[in-house]
Amino acid sequence: AQKITQTQPGMFVQEKEAVTLDCTYDTSDQSYGLFWYKQPSSGEMIFLIYQGSYDEQNATEGRYSLNFQKARKSANLVISASQLGDSAMYFCAMREPLSGYSTLTFGKGTMLLVSP
Amino acid sequence: DSGVTQTPKHLITATGQRVTLRCSPRSGDLSVYWYQQSLDQGLQFLIHYYNGEERAKGNILERFSAQQFPDLHSELNLSSLELGDSALYFCASSYRAGGTGELFFGEGSRLTVL
């Protein structure tokens, strides 16, 4: 079974609008972490935001926030006030468990295009 | 700039050949991870080293091997290359193994096998 599922292959949004990128995950661990990365066309992977399974509040980093719904096993990324530079591939990833030598497992990604 | 350096950035070679990809982690980071990104498979974890010791293996082919040296740089060796090995190979580093910290990725080495 897929550990991380991103159901939206592509999303379109107009500049200055908010957009939500979906991510659902599958784990039986109680302790895990969820990460979002951005990959622009240049190829590098840029870390955006992190949410731990025990964090009670949704994570926020500037224009990025993570809508964490533990019971639904979803960790959606919300980008407020989209900018042209937000056009990129976005990956959701999970580390489970948080202890030990665990690695990040990535979803297939969502391509976001921001239009003027 | 993540602080992770990968060389070469681009590599074109022929089937059957062998290549070595090099990674210098961020200063002070003890963990090095290798990932392969291809259009059909997405981002696949290959292998993880922590302070010179192999700690986890993912979907790494037997034709591939890696090591982390005492100065903490790492090399990924790909041999008997096939067309399907064409991909973007990422190295990532972190101070700890596991935990809440993110991985810092290099810019990747794009391998094309002809």
Whether pLDDT at B78 is above 90: yes
Q: Do A98 and B45 touch (CB under 8 A)?
A: no
Nearest to B88 among A43, A108, A109 (CB): A43
How sure is the predictor about B96, in pLDDT bands with cuts at 50, 70 and 90? confident
Rounded to the nearest angstrom, the minimum Cα separation between A61 and chain B is 14
Contact A82, A13 (CB under 8 A): yes
DSSP state at residue A52: E
B42/A95 CB distance under 8 A: no
CA separation for the pair B58, B41 (Å, rounded): 13
Best probe of the A interface among B48, B102, B111, B112, by most A CBs < 10 A, is: B102
The least confident of A98-112, B1-15, B44-58, B76-90 is A98-112
Task: Say if the Cβ atoms of A45 and B92 lie within 8 Å.
Answer: yes
**Of residues A72, A51, A64, the one with CA closest to residue A21:** A64
Cα–Cα distance for residue pair A70/B66, rounded to 1 Å: 37
Distances (CA, A) of A104 to A37, A84, A92, B25, B86: 11, 28, 10, 17, 22
Residue B45: name the closest of B55, B33, B54, B53 by CA: B33
Distance between A81 CA and the closest CA of chain B, angstroms:
25
Average pLDDT over residues B88-113: 91
Q: What is the pLDDT of residues A53-105, one digit of tens each?
A: 999 899 999 999 999 999 999 999 999 999 999 999 999 999 988 877 888 99
User: How many angstroms separate the CA atoms of B58 and B35, rounded?
Assistant: 9
Reported as type and span, the H/E element at residue B76 is strand B74-78
pLDDT of B95 higher than 90: no
Query: Mean of the per-residue pLDDT values for chain B?
Result: 94
Nearest to B102 among A47, A101, A109 (CB): A47
User: Among A34, A104, A105, A106, which would you mutate to test the B interface (most chain B Cβ atoms within 10 Å of its Cβ)?
Assistant: A104
B81 and B17 Cβ atoms separated by less than 8 Å: yes
Q: Are B79 and B62 in contact (CB under 8 A)?
A: no
Count Cβ atoms below 10 Å from residue A93 Cβ, excluding itself. Answer: 25
The whole-number average pLDDT for the span B18-22 is 98
Residues 6+ apart with CB under 8 A from A18: A78, A79, A80, A81, A82
Q: Which residue has the tokens 């990535």?
A: A106
A-facing residues of B in 11-40 (CB < 8 A) are 33, 35
What secondary structure letter does DSSP report for A99? S
Banded pLDDT at B35 (limits 50, 70, 90) = very high
Q: Find tokens 């090995």 and name the residue.
A: B85
Do residues B19 and B102 touch, judged by C-beta distance below 8 A?
Answer: no
Decide if pLDDT at A32 tops 90. yes
Give the gap in angstroms from C-alpha A23 to the nearest C-alpha of chain B: 15
Q: Are B44 and B35 in contact (CB under 8 A)?
A: yes
